Structure 1
Amino acid sequence: MRSICLSIVSLMIMLILSGCWNRTELNELGIVVATGVDFKDGQWTISYQVIVPSNMASGNGGSSAGTSQPAVHVFSVNSTAIHQALNLSNLEHPRRVYVAHNKVLVIGKSAAEQGVGELMDFYFRNTEPRETVLMALTEGQAIDILNKLSPPEKLPGSSLSDMLTKESDQVSAYPVISVFNFALKMNSDAKGISVPVIDLAGDKSDNREEELETEDVLKQTQQPLKMKITKLGIFHKDRLVGELNYNESFGLSWLTGDIHRTELSFPCSKGDQTQERAGFTVNSSKTKITPRKSGSHYVMQIKVKLKGVLTESTCRQDLSNPKVIREIEAQIDQQIEDFIHTGWSAMKRLKTDTAGFADKIHRKFPSDWRQIKDDWQDELARMELDIQVQSTIRRTGLIQKSFEQSEQD
């Protein structure tokens, strides 16, 4: 009798729970791969780069009849609130905009200067948008970046995300940052954040992408405009306060320990005015920052240790000589120290603690921090750095002399 009752109850539960009561079919979703945020006249302009599935099938991202059509569709929605734009998107797009697969968030300069606190609130208050989305800035309008195709990839949003990631892993001049890490730094003691800047490089007067269906443009091997990472935007709290060039940003990466792998080029010897140079690939790097108190102020001890291989050399020195290797390592040490000083000077110019020094002082000197936190910008300007760099050349390559030197021998 008991088994019969259990069977009846189980059958009733199966009947009640059968099916997907809140299902959404794939052909009802507009999957977003990139989002752009602009601000103008008191309103947000949210742009969505949505996948066009029918144009993903062909080999060239096109549809049929020998024409090439983009695999994405870009449209914009104006609204007073960021989340409201998702609902208003139905006025322009036949499918429900689905942002859970968004790869990158591009912020226009006007929106960055206005402040992105409301944008952070949108990402952390709602369940669908993910905090792992990568962030990027642009000097102009974010929609211009989303409209730009990026051959040979079919999805420009995914291409831009890969570009940011690979730059951070291979060059390390413009560290990649996600929405989660942005919010984490925005609520730290330092409140300084860096975000890569994406611009359109090339001849803007010859941008003919709107003519993609013509045969002449399809035969072009190079587009007049292309996306390029050019600078590093610096935020204080949620507002953009300035930008760093390549050398300043590269120095900041050494200072903060964001170097993963990179290349260095330097003269063969100190004070060498010839064209002879050597190339060094950094395979591993570690930066340790230790705050020390000096009187009533602070000194940041920066210890950088790196290892790598010599990948290029037109120098006339004999690389089999240990003394020569030590001289080259000293050249590398000096160049990295110069980069760090350049990044540090840029930090003081913008009066923004992008290196996170405030958090380190707070942890080591908590009682002091309570006294100086209200005047932290002035304290940051008086701070000094004690930089110690130690590089190690693990290999010099398959040959010990340059080809020019070998010919003379």
Structure 2
Amino acid sequence: MRNRLVYMLILMVAALPMTGCWNSREPKQLAIVMALGIDKAPGNKYKVSFQIANSGQVAPGIVAGGSTYGAPVMVYSGTGSSIYEAIRKTSRSVPRQLFFAHIRLVVIGESLAKSGMQEIFDFFDRSRETRLTAMVLIARGGDAEQAVRTLTPLEKLPANAVMGKMMHSSRLWSENFTVYIDDVINMMVSEENVLLISGVKLAGDKGMSAKKENVEQTNPAAILNISGMAVMQEGKLKKWLDGRLARGVIWARNKMESSVMTIDAMGKPKSVSIEVSRGKTKVKTQFANGQLRFHFHIDAEGFITELQVPFDMTKPGGIDSMEKEWAETIRDEAEAAIKQAQSEKCDMLGLGQMLRREHPKQWNKRKDDWNNVFADSEITVTVHTEIRHQGLRNKSYLSNISK
């Protein structure tokens, strides 16, 4: 019994040096990267910009690891033949170790997107520290560095501001949808290899974008806006989609969450506003005599939010006529997007992905020439709409004014 106690005591003493975290790092030793910008640099290199949180500015009173003066973020840049080489080179300028576990946003410069960006995501996929849930955007008409340097109102951390804009834009306007690093990687290794990534664009006085004075006024001189969707094919930027084409793709891909659409009434264009409260798209595939056919059926529900004409919805057939006009508007948008996709021979609608998932044998027969097969396929659209309610009024006060 005594020997057993001795052995246990020896083991307990030997285990004491093993307590604690061998690779622990104090917050004051870390430069926490919130956003990353990647641009094309001369000599087939990459320029990587790191948006680092200044914790003393973001959370006043908590000064460990941060400074109580200056901007809420600092941006450092480095150039290298690879992303990781650029990171290591930047360490010469940053007084703390770059820490990527909290990265939320990756911005790709437009010139890099045009030349091809297939190789740049291996670092994120391989690293134990980075997250594949970081959002990806394309810097439309500019550099990623300038986008991550721009200070934003309301949100101290620009990365959080851009993410908030992207999420609200996709949920409330539906001309964009969010894409994350793992989505990009999965699509790049897929056989159809077409991806849509939303754009972020700097508007206003670009020279003011990185200055603190930009957010110290009621009307910022420079601001970042979510702008369009980049169509990526084989890892390269093919074109931008905006407006009705972008929303038509959203309808076709069953990504509609909510939006506001305007329709004609009483001879006045765009005089009725309808908020889309629900959108559901189903695609039916048919094979006949070697010909591939797709049929989109869109179901939409919504409610009237504004009238600019004295339209009386209490009259028989009043709501029915609005629903019919709304259905025509949705069909026009979806058909315009389909026509654009087929003319470009670019399956931005995701039909190849759906065919591969639901009809793998048929996909295997067509995958080698899918772009031409898709372009020659017969695609039709039907739309069913339902207006659930009309707000607090069935009859607008405009009816009394017109009298």
The Cα shift of 1:357 comes to: 0.9
Does the aligned pair in 2 maintain the 1:187–1:237 contact within 8 Å? no
**SS at 2:327 equivalent:** helix
CA-atom RMSD in angstroms: 2.3
Q: Return the alpha-carbon distance in structure 1 between the equivalents of residues 14 and 265 of structure 2.
A: 79
Q: Give the drift of 1:252.
A: 0.3
* Aligned mates of 2:179, 2:320 — CA distance in 1: 36
User: Does the Cα contact within 8 Å between 1:134 and 1:176 map onto a contact in 2?
Assistant: yes
Alignment of 1:122 onto 2:123:
yes
**Secondary structure, counterpart of 1:107 in structure 2:** strand
Q: CA deviation at 1:133?
A: 0.6
1:117 is paired with a residue whose SS is: coil
**1:279 is matched by which residue type in structure 2?**
S
Q: Which is further off, 258-267 or 357-366?
A: 357-366
Residue 403 of structure 1 pairs with residue 397 of structure 2: yes
1:157 aligned partner, one-letter code: A
**1:257 matched to which residue of 2?**
254
1: distance between equivalents of 2:176 and 2:233? 17
Partner SS for 1:305:
strand
Which of 30-39 and 12-21 deviates more?
12-21
Residues 284-314 of structure 1 show CA distances to partners (whole Å, capped at 9, x for unaligned) of: 1111112112432211111111212111123
Note the 1:340-355 alignment, pairs <5 A: 340-355=334-349
Which residue pairs with 1:27 in the alignment? 28
**Alignment match, 2:171:** 169
Give the letter for the 2:110 counterpart.
K
Report if aligned partners of 1:35, 1:105 keep a CA contact under 8 Å in 2. yes
Task: Give the match for residue 182 of structure 1.
Answer: 184
2:232 pairs with 1:226? no
1:202 matched to 2:196? The reply is: no
State the one-letter code of the partner of 2:143.
Answer: Q
What secondary structure is seen at the aligned counterpart in 1 of 2:119?
Answer: helix
Compute the displacement of 1:401 (Å).
Answer: 1.4
Equivalent residue of 2:309, what SS?
A: coil
In the other structure, the counterpart of 2:285 is 291
**Structure 2 Cα separation of the partners of residues 43 and 173 of structure 1:** 33
Q: CA deviation at 1:275?
A: 5.1
Cα gap change, 1:326/1:146 in structure 2, threshold over 3 Å: closer, same or farther? same
8 A contact 2:209–2:223 mirrored in 1: no
Residue type of the partner of 2:107?
Answer: V
Matches within 5 A, 1:1-400: 1=1, 4-5=5-6, 7-8=8-9, 11-12=12-13, 14-41=15-42, 42-58=44-60, 69-138=70-139, 139-204=141-206, 207-209=207-209, 212=212, 220-268=217-265, 272=267, 274=268, 277-400=271-394
Structure 2 CA distance for aligned equivalents of residues 167 and 276 of structure 1: 22
Deviation at 1:337, TM superposition (A): 0.5
Q: Equivalents in 2 of 1:374, 1:360: separation in Å?
A: 16
Task: Pick closer, same or farther for the CA change 1:13–1:390 going to 2, 3 Å.
Answer: farther
- Matches of 1:75 and 1:93, distance apart in 2: 7
Give the conservation status (yes or no) of the 8 Å contact 2:40–2:111: yes
The one-letter code of the counterpart of 1:264 is: M
- Deviation string for 1:36-86 (max 9, x for gaps)? 000122101010000112222449xx977xxx7311001111000112222
TM-score calculated relative to the size of structure 1: 0.90
User: How many angstroms does 1:377 deviate by?
Assistant: 1.1
Work out whether residues 295 and 380 of structure 2, in 8 Å CA contact, stay in contact via their aligned partners in 1: yes
Aligned residues: 397
Is the CA contact 2:263–2:269 (under 8 Å) kept in the aligned structure 1? Answer: no
Report the alpha carbon displacement of residue 361 of structure 1 after superposing the two structures with TM: 2.3
Please report how far the alpha carbon of residue 247 of structure 1 lies from its aligned counterpart in structure 2 after TM superposition.
1.7
List runs of 5+ in structure 1 lacking aligned partners: none
Q: 1:241 to 1:211 in 2, by over 3 A?
A: closer
Unmatched runs of 5 consecutive residues or more in structure 2: none
User: Aligned equivalents of 2:215 and 2:302: distance in 1?
Assistant: 43
TM (norm. structure 2) is: 0.92
Provide, for residues 223-250 of structure 1, a one-character-per-residue CA deviation record: whole Å limited to 9, x for no partner. 2221112221011132211111222111
Q: Taking structure 1 as reference, are residues 6 and 345 closer, same or farther at Cα in structure 2, changes over 3 Å only? A: farther
**One-letter amino acid matched to 1:338:** D
Counterpart Cα distance in 2 of 1:277 and 1:179: 41
Secondary structure of 1:278's match? strand
